[in-house]
A and B are shown apart, each in its own frame.
Chain A
Protein backbone atom coordinates (compact mmCIF):
# COMPACT_ATOMS: atom_id res chain seq x y z
CA UNK A 1 0.00 0.00 0.00
CA UNK A 2 1.43 3.32 -1.08
CA UNK A 3 1.54 6.37 1.10
CA UNK A 4 2.61 9.54 -0.67
CA UNK A 5 4.42 12.14 1.42
CA UNK A 6 5.56 15.17 -0.59
CA UNK A 7 6.94 18.34 0.93
CA UNK A 8 7.13 21.79 -0.62
CA UNK A 9 7.75 25.26 0.76
CA UNK A 10 5.01 27.87 0.65
CA UNK A 11 5.33 31.33 2.18
CA UNK A 12 7.31 30.17 5.19
CA UNK A 13 5.26 27.00 5.65
CA UNK A 14 6.33 23.48 4.92
CA UNK A 15 3.41 21.85 3.10
CA UNK A 16 3.26 18.10 3.59
CA UNK A 17 0.86 16.56 1.07
CA UNK A 18 -0.35 13.13 2.11
CA UNK A 19 -1.75 10.70 -0.45
CA UNK A 20 -3.27 7.27 -0.01
CA UNK A 21 -4.42 5.44 3.09
CA UNK A 22 -3.27 6.36 6.59
CA UNK A 23 -3.67 3.42 8.96
CA UNK A 24 -1.68 1.41 11.49
CA UNK A 25 0.64 0.19 8.72
CA UNK A 26 1.41 3.50 7.02
CA UNK A 27 1.12 5.88 10.00
CA UNK A 28 4.70 5.27 11.24
CA UNK A 29 6.11 6.67 7.95
CA UNK A 30 3.83 9.68 8.24
CA UNK A 31 4.94 10.23 11.86
CA UNK A 32 8.63 9.94 10.94
CA UNK A 33 8.28 12.46 8.11
CA UNK A 34 6.61 14.99 10.43
CA UNK A 35 9.31 14.49 13.07
CA UNK A 36 12.01 14.95 10.41
CA UNK A 37 10.48 18.24 9.32
CA UNK A 38 10.35 19.54 12.89
CA UNK A 39 13.95 18.51 13.51
CA UNK A 40 14.94 20.35 10.30
CA UNK A 41 13.60 23.47 12.01
CA UNK A 42 10.29 23.64 10.16
CA UNK A 43 7.88 24.72 12.85
CA UNK A 44 5.03 25.95 10.67
CA UNK A 45 3.59 22.96 8.88
CA UNK A 46 0.51 22.53 6.73
CA UNK A 47 -0.66 18.95 6.30
CA UNK A 48 -2.70 18.67 3.10
CA UNK A 49 -5.12 15.77 3.41
CA UNK A 50 -6.91 16.29 0.09
CA UNK A 51 -5.23 13.24 -1.45
CA UNK A 52 -6.05 10.95 1.46
CA UNK A 53 -8.47 8.13 0.67
CA UNK A 54 -8.71 6.76 4.18
CA UNK A 55 -7.68 7.92 7.64
CA UNK A 56 -8.33 6.18 10.93
CA UNK A 57 -7.46 6.86 14.56
CA UNK A 58 -3.79 5.99 14.08
CA UNK A 59 -3.61 8.82 11.54
CA UNK A 60 -5.36 11.15 13.98
CA UNK A 61 -2.79 10.15 16.59
CA UNK A 62 0.05 11.17 14.27
CA UNK A 63 -1.56 14.58 13.71
CA UNK A 64 -2.22 15.14 17.41
CA UNK A 65 1.40 14.17 18.17
CA UNK A 66 2.63 16.53 15.45
CA UNK A 67 0.58 19.43 16.77
CA UNK A 68 1.86 18.84 20.30
CA UNK A 69 5.46 18.70 19.07
CA UNK A 70 5.08 21.90 17.05
CA UNK A 71 3.35 23.82 19.83
CA UNK A 72 6.26 22.98 22.11
CA UNK A 73 8.40 24.86 19.54
CA UNK A 74 5.93 27.77 19.37
CA UNK A 75 4.96 26.51 15.95
CA UNK A 76 1.70 25.31 14.48
CA UNK A 77 0.21 22.56 12.40
CA UNK A 78 -2.62 23.48 10.05
CA UNK A 79 -4.76 21.07 8.08
CA UNK A 80 -6.24 21.27 4.60
CA UNK A 81 -9.27 19.05 4.15
CA UNK A 82 -12.60 19.40 2.34
CA UNK A 83 -13.54 15.72 1.99
CA UNK A 84 -16.60 15.04 4.10
CA UNK A 85 -15.68 11.44 4.91
CA UNK A 86 -12.30 12.54 6.30
CA UNK A 87 -13.72 15.60 8.10
CA UNK A 88 -16.25 13.30 9.73
CA UNK A 89 -13.46 11.51 11.60
CA UNK A 90 -12.31 14.82 13.07
CA UNK A 91 -15.88 15.80 13.94
CA UNK A 92 -16.70 12.55 15.77
CA UNK A 93 -13.55 12.76 17.87
CA UNK A 94 -13.99 16.47 18.60
CA UNK A 95 -10.66 17.27 16.94
CA UNK A 96 -12.23 19.96 14.75
CA UNK A 97 -11.92 22.07 17.91
CA UNK A 98 -8.23 21.29 18.24
CA UNK A 99 -7.05 21.72 14.64
CA UNK A 100 -7.29 24.69 12.35
CA UNK A 101 -8.81 23.13 9.23
CA UNK A 102 -8.76 24.98 5.92
CA UNK A 103 -10.28 24.56 2.47
CA UNK A 104 -7.02 24.94 0.56
CA UNK A 105 -3.31 25.48 1.04
CA UNK A 106 -3.82 29.07 -0.18
CA UNK A 107 -6.40 29.65 2.53
CA UNK A 108 -4.16 28.07 5.17
CA UNK A 109 -1.17 30.30 4.37
CA UNK A 110 -3.50 33.28 4.09
CA UNK A 111 -3.85 33.77 7.82
CA UNK A 112 -5.19 32.27 10.99
CA UNK A 113 -8.80 32.53 9.87
CA UNK A 114 -8.31 32.45 6.13
CA UNK A 115 -10.74 29.96 4.67
CA UNK A 116 -11.14 28.08 7.91
CA UNK A 117 -14.11 25.78 7.93
CA UNK A 118 -16.79 27.01 10.31
Chain B
Protein backbone atom coordinates (compact mmCIF):
# COMPACT_ATOMS: atom_id res chain seq x y z
CA UNK B 1 0.00 0.00 0.00
CA UNK B 2 1.61 3.23 -1.12
CA UNK B 3 -1.21 5.75 -1.06
CA UNK B 4 -2.16 7.26 2.22
CA UNK B 5 -5.82 6.79 2.98
CA UNK B 6 -7.44 9.65 4.85
CA UNK B 7 -7.96 8.84 8.49
CA UNK B 8 -5.86 5.72 8.38
CA UNK B 9 -2.69 5.58 10.43
CA UNK B 10 0.48 5.11 8.47
CA UNK B 11 2.17 2.58 10.68
CA UNK B 12 5.05 1.16 8.70
CA UNK B 13 8.33 1.86 10.45
CA UNK B 14 6.72 2.92 13.72
CA UNK B 15 7.51 1.39 17.09
CA UNK B 16 5.02 1.52 19.94
CA UNK B 17 6.19 0.42 23.36
CA UNK B 18 4.13 -0.36 26.43
CA UNK B 19 5.49 -1.21 29.85
CA UNK B 20 3.17 -3.03 32.22
CA UNK B 21 3.60 -3.97 35.85
CA UNK B 22 4.19 -7.73 36.05
CA UNK B 23 0.75 -8.42 37.50
CA UNK B 24 -2.11 -10.50 36.13
CA UNK B 25 -4.57 -7.60 35.91
CA UNK B 26 -2.40 -5.84 33.32
CA UNK B 27 -2.48 -8.60 30.70
CA UNK B 28 -5.87 -7.30 29.54
CA UNK B 29 -4.30 -3.87 28.95
CA UNK B 30 -1.55 -5.40 26.79
CA UNK B 31 -4.21 -7.22 24.75
CA UNK B 32 -6.22 -4.03 24.37
CA UNK B 33 -3.27 -1.96 23.15
CA UNK B 34 -2.04 -4.60 20.70
CA UNK B 35 -5.47 -5.30 19.26
CA UNK B 36 -6.20 -1.57 18.90
CA UNK B 37 -2.89 -1.10 17.12
CA UNK B 38 -3.44 -4.15 14.91
CA UNK B 39 -6.93 -2.88 14.05
CA UNK B 40 -5.48 0.36 12.76
CA UNK B 41 -3.28 -1.71 10.45
CA UNK B 42 -5.67 -2.47 7.61
CA UNK B 43 -3.41 -5.27 6.40
CA UNK B 44 -4.54 -7.68 9.10
CA UNK B 45 -7.95 -9.35 8.98
CA UNK B 46 -10.08 -9.37 12.13
CA UNK B 47 -9.51 -13.10 12.62
CA UNK B 48 -5.75 -12.60 12.55
CA UNK B 49 -6.01 -9.74 15.03
CA UNK B 50 -7.81 -12.15 17.37
CA UNK B 51 -4.97 -14.64 16.85
CA UNK B 52 -2.35 -12.02 17.70
CA UNK B 53 -4.33 -10.85 20.73
CA UNK B 54 -4.43 -14.40 22.07
CA UNK B 55 -0.72 -14.97 21.40
CA UNK B 56 0.12 -11.70 23.20
CA UNK B 57 -2.02 -12.77 26.14
CA UNK B 58 -0.14 -16.07 26.37
CA UNK B 59 3.27 -14.40 26.08
CA UNK B 60 2.42 -11.78 28.72
CA UNK B 61 1.03 -14.45 31.05
CA UNK B 62 4.29 -16.39 30.76
CA UNK B 63 6.31 -13.21 31.29
CA UNK B 64 4.40 -12.34 34.46
CA UNK B 65 4.80 -15.86 35.79
CA UNK B 66 8.53 -15.68 35.04
CA UNK B 67 8.78 -12.44 37.02
CA UNK B 68 6.86 -14.02 39.87
CA UNK B 69 9.18 -17.03 39.90
CA UNK B 70 12.27 -14.79 39.78
CA UNK B 71 10.93 -12.38 42.39
CA UNK B 72 11.36 -9.52 39.93
CA UNK B 73 9.37 -6.33 40.43
CA UNK B 74 10.42 -4.88 37.08
CA UNK B 75 8.07 -4.04 34.25
CA UNK B 76 7.25 -6.33 31.35
CA UNK B 77 7.91 -4.63 28.02
CA UNK B 78 5.54 -5.08 25.07
CA UNK B 79 7.08 -3.58 21.95
CA UNK B 80 5.12 -3.41 18.71
CA UNK B 81 6.97 -2.83 15.49
CA UNK B 82 5.01 -2.14 12.33
CA UNK B 83 6.86 -3.20 9.22
CA UNK B 84 6.03 -2.87 5.55
CA UNK B 85 4.91 -6.49 5.40
CA UNK B 86 4.60 -7.48 9.04
CA UNK B 87 3.40 -6.52 12.46
CA UNK B 88 5.74 -7.72 15.20
CA UNK B 89 5.12 -7.80 18.91
CA UNK B 90 8.00 -8.49 21.25
CA UNK B 91 7.28 -9.35 24.88
CA UNK B 92 10.34 -9.01 27.09
CA UNK B 93 10.55 -10.31 30.61
CA UNK B 94 13.20 -10.18 33.33
CA UNK B 95 12.58 -13.68 34.57
CA UNK B 96 15.07 -16.50 34.72
CA UNK B 97 14.53 -17.48 31.11
CA UNK B 98 13.49 -20.85 29.83
CA UNK B 99 14.23 -23.26 27.04
CA UNK B 100 11.12 -23.96 24.95
CA UNK B 101 12.81 -27.07 23.56
CA UNK B 102 13.02 -28.44 27.10
CA UNK B 103 9.26 -28.27 27.65
CA UNK B 104 7.85 -31.69 28.45
CA UNK B 105 5.82 -33.43 25.80
CA UNK B 106 2.23 -33.94 26.82
CA UNK B 107 0.40 -37.20 26.22
CA UNK B 108 -1.98 -37.08 23.24
CA UNK B 109 -5.30 -35.46 24.04
CA UNK B 110 -7.14 -38.75 23.76
CA UNK B 111 -4.97 -40.26 26.50
CA UNK B 112 -6.77 -40.17 29.87
CA UNK B 113 -3.49 -38.99 31.41
CA UNK B 114 -3.79 -35.80 29.38
CA UNK B 115 -6.19 -34.50 32.01
CA UNK B 116 -3.31 -34.33 34.47
CA UNK B 117 -1.92 -31.41 32.51
CA UNK B 118 -3.76 -28.16 33.17
CA UNK B 119 -0.82 -26.07 32.08
CA UNK B 120 1.52 -26.00 29.13
CA UNK B 121 -1.04 -25.11 26.49
CA UNK B 122 0.20 -21.55 26.01
CA UNK B 123 3.31 -22.20 23.94
CA UNK B 124 1.57 -24.59 21.50
CA UNK B 125 -1.17 -21.97 21.08
CA UNK B 126 1.35 -19.21 20.33
CA UNK B 127 3.09 -21.42 17.76
CA UNK B 128 -0.19 -22.21 16.02
CA UNK B 129 -1.52 -18.64 16.00
CA UNK B 130 1.29 -16.47 14.68
CA UNK B 131 3.23 -16.71 11.42
CA UNK B 132 6.57 -16.75 13.19
CA UNK B 133 7.69 -16.97 16.80
CA UNK B 134 11.12 -16.79 18.43
CA UNK B 135 12.04 -17.30 22.06
CA UNK B 136 15.24 -15.33 22.51
CA UNK B 137 17.19 -15.45 25.75
CA UNK B 138 18.43 -12.02 26.81
CA UNK B 139 20.89 -11.04 29.53
CA UNK B 140 17.97 -10.39 31.82
CA UNK B 141 15.29 -12.85 30.79
CA UNK B 142 13.42 -13.90 27.68
CA UNK B 143 12.20 -11.97 24.66
CA UNK B 144 9.33 -13.60 22.81
CA UNK B 145 9.00 -12.23 19.28
CA UNK B 146 5.65 -12.73 17.57
CA UNK B 147 5.36 -11.94 13.88
CA UNK B 148 2.18 -11.56 11.84
CA UNK B 149 2.58 -11.19 8.11
CA UNK B 150 0.19 -8.99 6.17
CA UNK B 151 -2.68 -10.52 4.25
CA UNK B 152 -0.93 -11.10 0.93
CA UNK B 153 2.04 -12.75 2.64
CA UNK B 154 0.40 -14.37 5.63
CA UNK B 155 -0.54 -17.95 6.02
CA UNK B 156 -3.56 -17.95 8.24
CA UNK B 157 -3.43 -20.96 10.52
CA UNK B 158 -6.39 -23.32 10.20
Mark A residues whose CB is within 8 Å of B: 1, 21, 23-25, 54, 56-58, 60-62, 64-65, 67-68, 71, 85, 89, 92-95, 97-98
Contact = CB atoms under 8 A, between A and B. Distances in A.
Given A23-B61, A64-B117, A93 B24 contact: no
B109 A21 contact: no
B47 A92 contact: no
A89 B109 contact: no
7 contacts: A23-B24, A24-B27, A25-B25, A25-B28, A68-B115, A97-B109, A98-B109
Given A24-B64, A56-B61, A97-B110, A85 B50 contact: yes
B27 A67 contact: no
Contacts of B118: 61-62, 64-65, 68
Interface size bracket, B side: 20 to 34
B101 interface: no
A58 B61 contact: yes
A61 B121 contact: yes
Nearest to A85: B50
Nearest to A63: B118
B121 A60 contact: yes
B37 interface: no
Nearest to B54: A56
Given A64-B118, A98-B109, A98-B114, A57 B25 contact: no
Contacts of B117: 64
Given A24-B64, A92-B129, A68 B116 contact: yes
